[in-house]
């Protein structure tokens, strides 16, 4: 008798718990947020990657943090925050001072930026300058085989001596340019595989385009910057003509103004505040050529209207579940009670 009674109690408790659990599940369904896609003049989620031009290195206040300087990235961020009419702005500057294109490519393949690329609308890239500059500086410092000092170039040397020096340097730079040809496509192909974001790559400006002497060396520098930019532009589309990325022509924007838009007079090739504003203007023009389709949570008013009718249906369903579930428990209890009563009388 006791065993039978305990079984009945456990059955009743289980039925009641099932009804409560099912009721909670119905309530939880009502909390789901609905989303919609809308057109926007500016992106919602942005990733900025690349070198020290990206971080705003050498600008006033940089030692206090990259978010404190008047870099092109921060100027764009301020615009996007102001103009984004729907959704919450998400702007991430992941630039790394001194980064070369092969290092950026390796970081991407290692998954370092995968989380940043999720649902990204726009990726801005400044990369390639260090591929040339680091090779040049190592050579001039004597770190590379056949390396020379800057005085070797600008002091009294025959044209033949300088041509020999530049020939050696040229071999090193050409190796870097061949590598860049591969890495820029690898970088952007990886990003395209990870998300549907627009990708914009900046051409490399020439910080010494107003310098004429030493003529042979300055002409050499210009030729290498031109070659890197040609590779960048030529790879913007794949072999089938499909767009890998868009181009922001910073090189043309800076043309003839290297001494005004960079810190070259202080022997620093980085853009100054005016240079960053010029990059910002150049990028902004390209960015605004196409609208963005972004995903946002529906407005509360819309959700309230849409959910009101749904809530009625859910309420009816929930009521039926509660009534039905309670009825099951009640009927089961009555049947069990009658059975127990008869069993007790017979005993």
Domain 36-297: assigned CATH number: 3.40.50.1110
How confident is the model at residue 311, as a pLDDT? 56
pLDDT tens-digit map of 38-82:
999 999 999 999 999 999 999 999 999 999 999 999 999 999 999
pLDDT tens-digit map of 250-297:
999 999 999 999 999 998 999 999 999 999 999 999 999 999 998 887
How confident is the model at residue 153, as a pLDDT? 54
Half-sphere exposure of 344 (CA within 13 A, CB side): 8
CA dihedral 294, 290, 69, 129 (to 10 degrees): 120
β 35-40/292-297 pair status: antiparallel
How confident is the model at residue 154, as a pLDDT? 52
Strand order in the sheet with 246-248: 90-93, 45-50, 122-126, 198-202, 246-248
How would you class 86 by CB atoms within 10 Å of its CB: exposed for 0-12, middle for 13-18, buried for 19 or more? middle
Task: Using the CB atoms, write b or e for 290-312: b if 16+ within 10 Å.
Answer: eebebebebeeeeeeeebeeeee
- Bond from prior residue into 336 cis (ω within 30 degrees of 0): no
Please state the φ and ψ torsions of residue 48, each to the nearest 5 degrees. Answer: -115, 120
Q: Hey, CA dihedral for 139, 143, 147, 151, is it positive or negative?
A: positive
CA-to-CA distance for 221 and 271, rounded, in angstroms? 18
Residues with pLDDT less than 70, the chain: 1-32, 141-159, 299-347
How confident is the model at residue 297, as a pLDDT? 79
Specify the residue for token string 């008869």: 342
Residue 190, Cβ neighbours under 10 Å: how many?
16
How confident is the model at residue 301, as a pLDDT? 55
């Amino acid at each position: 008798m006791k065993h039978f009674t305990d079984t009945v109690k456990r059955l009743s408790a289980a039925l009641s718990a099932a009804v409560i659990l099912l009721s909670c599940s119905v309530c939880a369904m009502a909390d789901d947020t609905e989303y919609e896609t809308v057109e926007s003049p500016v992106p919602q989620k942005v990733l900025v990657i690349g070198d020290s031009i990206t971080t705003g290195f050498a600008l006033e206040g940089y030692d206090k943090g990259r978010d404190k300087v008047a870099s092109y990235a921060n100027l764009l961020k301020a615009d996007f925050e102001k103009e984004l009419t729907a959704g919450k702005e998400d702007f991430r500057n992941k630039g790394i001072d001194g980064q070369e294109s092969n290092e950026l490519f390796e970081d991407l393949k290692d998954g370092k930026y995968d989380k940043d690329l999720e649902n990204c609308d726009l990726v801005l890239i400044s990369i390639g300058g260090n591929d040339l500059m680091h090779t040049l500086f190592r050579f001039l410092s004597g770190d590379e085989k056949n390396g020379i000092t800057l005085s070797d170039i600008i002091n009294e040397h025959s044209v033949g001596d300088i041509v020999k020096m530049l020939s050696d340097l040229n071999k090193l730079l050409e190796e870097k340019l061949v590598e860049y040809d591969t890495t820029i496509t690898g970088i952007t192909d990886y990003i395209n595989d990870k998300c549907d974001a627009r990708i914009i790559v900046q051409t490399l400006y020439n910080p010494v385009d107003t310098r004429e002497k030493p003529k042979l060396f300055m002409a050499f520098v210009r030729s290498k910057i031109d070659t890197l930019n040609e590779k960048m532009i030529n790879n913007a589309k794949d072999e089938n003509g499909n767009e890998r990325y868009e181009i922001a022509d910073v090189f043309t924007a800076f043309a003839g103004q290297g001494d005004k838009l960079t810190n070259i007079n202080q022997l620093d090739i980085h853009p100054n505040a005016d240079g960053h504003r010029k990059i910002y203007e150049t990028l902004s023009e390209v960015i605004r050529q196409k609208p963005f389709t972004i995903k946002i949570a529906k407005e509360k008013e819309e959700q309230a209207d849409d959910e009101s009718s749904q809530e009625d249906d859910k309420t009816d369903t929930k009521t039926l579940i509660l009534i039905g579930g309670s009825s099951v428990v009640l009927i089961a209890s009555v049947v069990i009670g009658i059975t127990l009563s008869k069993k007790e009388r017979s005993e």
